[in-house]
Amino acid sequence: MEKPVTFENYGEQLVGILHIPDGLRREKAPAIAMFHGFTGNKSESHRLFVQVARNLCNARFVVLRTDFRGSGDSEGEFEEMTLPGEVRDAKKSLDFLSEQSQIDKERIGVIGLSLGGRVATILASEDERVKSVVLLSPALGPLREVFASLAGHEAAMKLTQGEAVKVSNGWYLKKSFFDTIDEPVPLDVMVKIKVPMLIVHGDGDQVVPVETSKKGYEIIRNLNERNELYIVEGGDHTFSERDHTLEVIRKTREWLLSLGS
């Protein structure tokens, strides 16, 4: 079953889709919260998140995919978005999942794509409810200078005056985003994460270089015997080729199922 759900953070409504396996009765199911990327939404590019969620639901996972505030169907304005704000939204997703009667609270995991992977990493370093982490093309390194270059040299004055500046076609951000995007840098906090982590990255990614994930894996390699880096040969940032999509779904499902209870 798939159903729309809503919950609030700071008085603004977040909109999500909850996937519940058919026939759940007395047994408690593992659960996954999914976090989308920058300018993305709960469906993600070429409906990647829909495909992942449905596949995991068929494997008896309850899955919640949610639009962060200011993205997709959720309330709020994109230009007000900050990294700490998205981490707080992610925590609200865990709150919502934890309240579902079908959930095994000891088996809640997170999946994050790109900037959502940044959110998932920070969340896992802070919140003990997270028991497993899957990062897809995660943005783990410093980003302030990257976004500053997108905004251009003339942006600084506008930002200090409280204006939003354009960072991509149709997408504008305010100073609070630039001030907080590296607070913290995930590579600096990954050492705190003791639960199993899977990092999946395409070596053809032109948005977030695969070397970033390799650095992240070197940090976590010996923190848990289940930790793994999986490279999709030729894969782009969102694994848009059908074979790459299916490969990511298969790997994610098999890895999560391997964790057992």
pLDDT (tens digit per residue) in 179-230: 999 999 999 999 999 999 999 999 999 999 999 999 999 999 999 999 999 9
Over range 133-140, report the average pLDDT: 98
The tokens for 26 are 């007395």
* 203 Cβ contact list (under 8 Å, min separation 6): 210, 231, 232, 233, 234, 235
> Which burial class, exposed, middle or buried, applies to 123 when counting CB atoms under 10 A from its CB (0-12, 13-18, 19+)?
buried
What letter would DSSP give residue 5? E
Judged by DSSP in three states, 39 sits in coil
The candidate with the shortest Cα–Cα distance to 118, out of 159, 82, 171, 70, is 82
Percent of the chain with pLDDT over 90: 90
What letter would DSSP give residue 90? H
pLDDT of 23 reads 85
Over range 81-91, report the average pLDDT: 98
First-last CA distance in the chain? 23
pLDDT of 212 reads 96
Q: Residue 26: pLDDT above 90? A: no
Angle at 71 between CA 70 and CA 76, to 5 degrees: 20
Contact between 141 and 189 (Cβ < 8 Å)? no
Please report the domains of the chain, with CATH numbers, ordered by start residue: 2-141+186-258 (3.40.50.1820), 144-180 (no CATH)
Over range 95-110, report the average pLDDT: 95
pLDDT of 261 reads 52
Q: Which range (131-140, 157-166, 248-257) has the least confidence?
A: 157-166
pLDDT of 225 reads 96
Contact between 261 and 227 (Cβ < 8 Å)? no
